[in-house]
């Protein structure tokens, strides 16, 4: 699909097909526990008012924010509530604070019950609308900027909202199929294209199928999931990074932070009423056993010799609970094979599964007769439950040592898209590049900032360093990049500025405050600190400005912490006592020369134009629902987009190769080798890596210093 531009159509499709109601779990059963709800409200309000970094009164302004956030969480596309509903809800707009102080959830109950009734009606709405062809000759438009679109005046207008959204989705699919039909004709002149009537019918059927799948998942959502949406509206009124995590979500958070889990090592997805194997984790128990394949459907699950349990129709999260389990235990899966449809029982012994894409990896590139190392750090991971387990600092230290054995002359640290993680590991990783000294300052509310330092005088790497960032580099990434910049230890290159998340969150189990409650109450991830650079400035809102800024697709977008409602403000504290390393003889010259290269590079010029075009299209939220106008606008956009085609076709002359320690692994693990080959191929086409390596190769250490090999 190529309506206007890729971002707009993806946004349109997602807005239409997903209701953004925290569908991270999966069920709508009325298994509410009013007592548990009140306990959660009581504990959360006390934790927040006493421990959150910001002192915030639960007043009318707070109440209004919760009111707006909750209604928007349930109905972001204005598909359920009418102005009549909103008028009734608005009686509570300035009362929610009082209700919360009294552990009362009447507002939630009113909106939730109304929402359940609206959901029941939704299937009748879209099923009826999709029965007959749309009138594509009618001159009408749809505005998908739902923040500005008013709620429907009545049920009649609400159904018309549905009609327009479904019509847009159908048109999008027709356009997509038309493009495919034209390609078939291009390849085979004898091919007869399908008629518009046929394509329209097929497109409506596909939209209906997608809607049915969506509402199957919605109908599986439990009260806990909807109440979690309400609680997140409450805690989110303190700041955007304070969130309530139901038990399932807390488990996933721990898994993401540690990069490992105990189970069979398979990613599962929901397909209709079935649980399907989406992907096998390389090196995991299922991968080693060798019988499971992507596309296989799991019908039954048995624990060791116990009786098998039928999981057909079971919600995905519950099915995963049965399949996962402690290391060393057996699970028997009854599986319908994708290849031939046969049924097979597969026995797997569970084990610790490491999610390889979470961890540090490196590669060696040859440039100007020298070797350079590129280290990709996807996040600052740590296992809070295992002090001796893997973490990003330990792994980074090992990776640097391995690259030193490859005789690299410089290191490029790639932090693009790294959303952060453990503050502790960020400090320790910074310490690998400096002798010792302050790395970051942290401040609790109402207290003086505390300096967090690297106290180990050992430098794991004393050679040239370049840090590559983009607008999605956040939190711990910004701590590390800022420290390298403030010490003069590295040149920071990438987007104009990083994300701008200068706050620290602590994950607190709610049962700590209500220990006698038998059931798991989940956790709160709460903002407890702000952090500051050693030069005193906050990274909040501002992020880290690159020494060398390169245009990218995000350059003009509304993006980052500064665009989040309720984000904490920028401020500063006194500078910490630190001594700049000023490691380089030619720092300013290298920056100047790189900026000149970027300014005169035709590819970067084109990327800058492309970014401006994307920003312009980001503001255009209107689509014609007349087929001729829709296709014409699409054709105009395609013609304009061709100008930027070469943006994605860059090719450097660089060749990347895995460090020697990985080569024996490839003989056992062809999947890992395939992933590395794909990574290297992408790096060779990455203009940002190419320029970052130009910078790295130009850097000269002061006083002719040599890299020390420990």
Domains (range + CATH), the chain: 6-238 (no CATH), 260-354 (2.30.42.10), 357-704 (3.90.226.10)
Q: Is there a contact between 141 and 633 (Cβ–Cβ < 8 Å)?
A: no
Q: Is residue 52 helix, strand or coil?
A: coil
Of residues 458, 415, 408, the one with CA closest to residue 435: 458
Please state, in angstroms and rounded to a whole number, the distance separating the CA atoms of residues 508 and 43: 11
Q: Which long-range contacts does 310-319 make (Cβ < 8 Å, 24+ apart)?
A: 311/275, 312/273, 312/274, 313/273, 314/275, 315/25, 315/26, 315/27, 315/220, 316/26, 316/268, 316/269, 316/270, 316/275, 317/25, 317/26, 317/248, 319/268, 319/275
Note the pLDDT tens digit of each residue in 9-46. Answer: 333 333 333 333 333 333 344 567 888 899 999 999 99
pLDDT of amino acid 31: 63
Note the pLDDT tens digit of each residue in 384-400. Answer: 777 788 899 999 999 99
How is residue 436 annotated by DSSP? S
Angle between the N-to-C axes of helices 6-17 and 196-219, in degrees from 0 to 180, rounded to the nearest 10? 50
Q: What percent of the chain has pLDDT over 70?
A: 94
Structure tokens at 565: 């409602």
Cβ-proximal residues to 353 (8 Å cutoff; 6+ apart), any chain = 260, 261, 262, 263, 264, 265, 281, 283, 284, 285
Q: Is there a contact between 421 and 381 (Cβ–Cβ < 8 Å)?
A: yes
Alpha helix segments (H runs only) across 236-356: 247-258, 285-289, 316-323
Please state, in angstroms and rounded to a whole number, the distance separating the CA atoms of residues 513 and 352: 31
Residue in the block written with tokens 């054709």: 635
Range with the lowest mean pLDDT among 61-70, 118-127, 417-426, 635-644? 635-644
Sign for the pseudo-dihedral over CA of 518, 524, 525, 531: negative
For the whole model, what pTM was predicted? Answer: 0.84
Please state, in angstroms and rounded to a whole number, the distance separating the CA atoms of residues 684 and 686: 6
Cβ-proximal residues to 519 (8 Å cutoff; 6+ apart), any chain = 36
Res. 319 pLDDT band, cuts 50 70 90 = confident
Mean residue pLDDT of the chain comes to: 88
Res. 3 pLDDT band, cuts 50 70 90 = very low
Cβ atoms within 10 Å of 574's Cβ, excluding its own: 11
Cβ atoms within 10 Å of 212's Cβ, excluding its own: 13
Note the pLDDT tens digit of each residue in 671-695. Answer: 788 889 999 999 999 999 999 999 9
pLDDT beyond 80 at 633: yes
Q: Is there a contact between 420 and 379 (Cβ–Cβ < 8 Å)?
A: yes
Q: Is there a contact between 706 and 482 (Cβ–Cβ < 8 Å)?
A: no
Buried b (16+ CB within 10 A) or exposed e, 229-266: bbbbbbbbbbbbbbbbbbbbbbbeebbebbbbbbbbbb
Note the pLDDT tens digit of each residue in 213-258. Answer: 888 878 878 888 899 999 999 999 999 999 999 988 888 787 777 6
Range with the lowest mean pLDDT among 8-22, 145-159, 172-186, 356-370? 8-22
- In angstroms and rounded to an integer, the radius of gyration of the C-alpha atoms of the chain is 27
Note the pLDDT tens digit of each residue in 557-591. Answer: 877 899 888 899 999 999 999 999 989 999 999 99
Would you put residue 243 in left (φ > 0), alpha (ψ -120 to 50) or beta?
beta
Q: Is there a contact between 201 and 177 (Cβ–Cβ < 8 Å)?
A: no
Q: What would the mean pLDDT of 366-383 be, rounded to a whole number?
A: 94
Please state, in angstroms and rounded to a whole number, the distance separating the CA atoms of residues 175 and 627: 9
* Interstrand relation of 465-469 and 491-494 (parallel, antiparallel or unpaired): parallel
Sign for the pseudo-dihedral over CA of 385, 388, 389, 390: positive
Res. 406 pLDDT band, cuts 50 70 90 = very high
Q: Is there a contact between 573 and 443 (Cβ–Cβ < 8 Å)?
A: yes
* Interstrand relation of 465-469 and 408-414 (parallel, antiparallel or unpaired): parallel
Of residues 568, 565, 507, 527, the one with CA closest to residue 52: 527
Q: Is there a contact between 524 and 580 (Cβ–Cβ < 8 Å)?
A: no
Please state, in angstroms and rounded to a whole number, the distance separating the CA atoms of residues 380 and 429: 9
Give the alpha-carbon dihedral of 18, 23, 27, 31, to 10 degrees: -130
Structure tokens at 658: 């895995």
Please state, in angstroms and rounded to a whole number, the distance separating the CA atoms of residues 189 and 274: 41
Give the alpha-carbon dihedral of 262, 267, 269, 275, to 10 degrees: -60
Note the pLDDT tens digit of each residue in 56-98. Answer: 889 999 999 999 999 999 999 999 999 999 999 999 999 999 9
Q: Is there a contact between 201 and 173 (Cβ–Cβ < 8 Å)?
A: no
pLDDT of amino acid 25: 33
Q: Is there a contact between 475 and 560 (Cβ–Cβ < 8 Å)?
A: no
Structure tokens at 447: 């207290």
Please state, in angstroms and rounded to a whole number, the distance separating the CA atoms of residues 394 and 641: 45
Q: Is residue 540 helix, strand or coil?
A: coil
pLDDT beyond 60 at 417: yes
Of residues 21, 32, 33, 204, the one with CA closest to residue 119: 21
Please state, in angstroms and rounded to a whole number, the distance separating the CA atoms of residues 32 and 224: 7
pLDDT of amino acid 580: 94
Q: Is there a contact between 426 and 415 (Cβ–Cβ < 8 Å)?
A: no
pLDDT of amino acid 258: 67
Please state, in angstroms and rounded to a whole number, the distance separating the CA atoms of residues 133 and 201: 7
pLDDT beyond 90 at 123: no
Q: What would the mean pLDDT of 703-710 be, rounded to a whole number?
A: 50
pLDDT beyond 50 at 302: yes
**SS3 letters for 598-642?**
HHHCHHHHHHHHHHHHHHHHHCCCEEECCHHHHHHHHHHHHHHHH
Better pLDDT: 339 or 173: 173
* Interstrand relation of 243-245 and 656-657 (parallel, antiparallel or unpaired): unpaired
pLDDT of amino acid 704: 53
């Amino acid at each position: 699909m190529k309506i206007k531009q890729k971002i707009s159509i993806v946004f349109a499709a997602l807005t239409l097909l997903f209701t953004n109601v925290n569908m991270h779990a999966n069920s709508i059963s009325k298994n509410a526990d009013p007592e548990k709800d009140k306990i959660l409200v009581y504990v959360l309000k006390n934790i927040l008012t006493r421990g959150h970094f910001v002192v915030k009164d639960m007043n009318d302004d707070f109440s209004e924010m919760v009111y707006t956030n909750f209604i928007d969480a349930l109905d972001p596309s204005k598909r359920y509530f009418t102005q009549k509903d909103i008028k009734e809800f608005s009686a509570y707009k300035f009362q929610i604070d009082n209700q919360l102080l009294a552990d009362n959830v009447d507002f939630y109950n009113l909106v939730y019950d109304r929402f359940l009734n609206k959901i029941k009606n939704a299937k009748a709405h879209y099923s009826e609308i999709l029965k007959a062809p749309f009138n594509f000759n009618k001159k009408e438009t749809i505005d998908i900027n739902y923040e500005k679109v008013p709620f429907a005046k009545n049920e009649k207008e609400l159904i018309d909202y549905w009609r327009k959204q479904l019509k847009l989705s159908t048109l999008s699919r027709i356009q997509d199929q038309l493009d495919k039909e034209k390609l078939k004709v291009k390849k085979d002149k004898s091919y007869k294209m399908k008629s518009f009537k046929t394509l329209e019918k097929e497109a409506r059927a596909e939209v209906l199928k997608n809607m049915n799948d969506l509402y199957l998942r919605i109908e599986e959502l439990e009260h806990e999931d909807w109440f979690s949406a309400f609680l997140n509206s409450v805690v989110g009124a303190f700041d955007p990074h304070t969130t309530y995590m139901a038990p399932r979500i807390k488990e996933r958070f721990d898994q993401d932070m540690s990069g490992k889990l105990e189970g069979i090592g398979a990613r599962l997805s929901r397909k209709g009423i079935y649980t399907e194997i989406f992907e096998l984790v390389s090196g995991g128990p299922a991968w080693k056993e060798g019988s499971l394949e992507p596309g296989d459907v799991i019908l039954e699950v048995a624990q060791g010799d116990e009786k098998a349990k039928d999981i057909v129709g079971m919600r995905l999260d519950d099915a995963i609970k049965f399949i996962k389990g402690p290391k060393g235990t057996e699970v028997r899966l009854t599986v319908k094979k994708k290849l031939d449809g046969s049924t097979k029982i597969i026995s797997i012994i569970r084990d610790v599964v490491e999610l390889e894409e979470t961890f540090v990896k490196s590669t060696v590139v040859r440039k100007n007769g020298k070797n350079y190392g590129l280290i990709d750090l996807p996040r600052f991971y740590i296992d809070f439950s295992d002090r001796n387990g893997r973490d990003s600092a330990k792994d980074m230290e090992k990776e640097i040592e391995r690259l030193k054995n490859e005789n690299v002359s410089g290191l490029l640290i790639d932090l693009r898209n790294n959303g952060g993680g453990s503050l502790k590991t960020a400090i320790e990783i910074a310490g690998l590049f400096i002798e010792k000294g302050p790395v970051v300052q942290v401040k609790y509310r109402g207290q003086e900032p505390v300096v967090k330092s690297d106290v180990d005088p050992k430098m794991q790497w004393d050679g040239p360093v370049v840090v590559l960032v983009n607008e999605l580099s956040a939190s711990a990434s910004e701590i590390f990049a800022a420290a390298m910049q403030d010490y003069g230890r590295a040149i920071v290159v990438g987007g104009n500025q990083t994300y701008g998340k200068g706050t620290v969150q602590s994950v607190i189990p709610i049962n700590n405050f209500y220990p006698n409650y038998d059931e798991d109450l989940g956790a709160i991830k709460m903002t407890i600190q702000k952090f500051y650079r050693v030069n005193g400035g906050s990274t909040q809102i501002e992020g880290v400005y690159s020494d060398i800024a390169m245009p990218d697709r995000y350059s003009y977008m509304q993006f980052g912490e500064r665009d989040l409602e309720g984000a904490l403000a920028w401020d500063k504290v006194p500078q910490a006592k630190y001594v700049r390393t000023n490691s380089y003889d030619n720092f300013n010259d290298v920056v100047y020369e790189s900026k000149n290269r970027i300014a005169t590079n035709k590819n970067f010029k084109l990327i800058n134009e492309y970014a401006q075009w994307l920003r312009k299209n980001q503001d255009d939220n209107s689509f014609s629902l007349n087929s001729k106008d829709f296709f014409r606008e699409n054709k105009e956009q395609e013609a304009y987009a061709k100008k930027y085609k070469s943006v994605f076709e860059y090719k450097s002359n660089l060749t990347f190769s895995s460090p020697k320690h990985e080569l024996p692994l490839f003989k056992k693990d062809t999947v890992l080798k395939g992933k590395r080959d794909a990574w290297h191929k992408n790096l060779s086409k990455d203009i940002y890596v190419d320029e970052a390596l130009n910078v790295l190769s130009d850097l000269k250490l002061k006083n002719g210093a040599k890299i020390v090999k420990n």
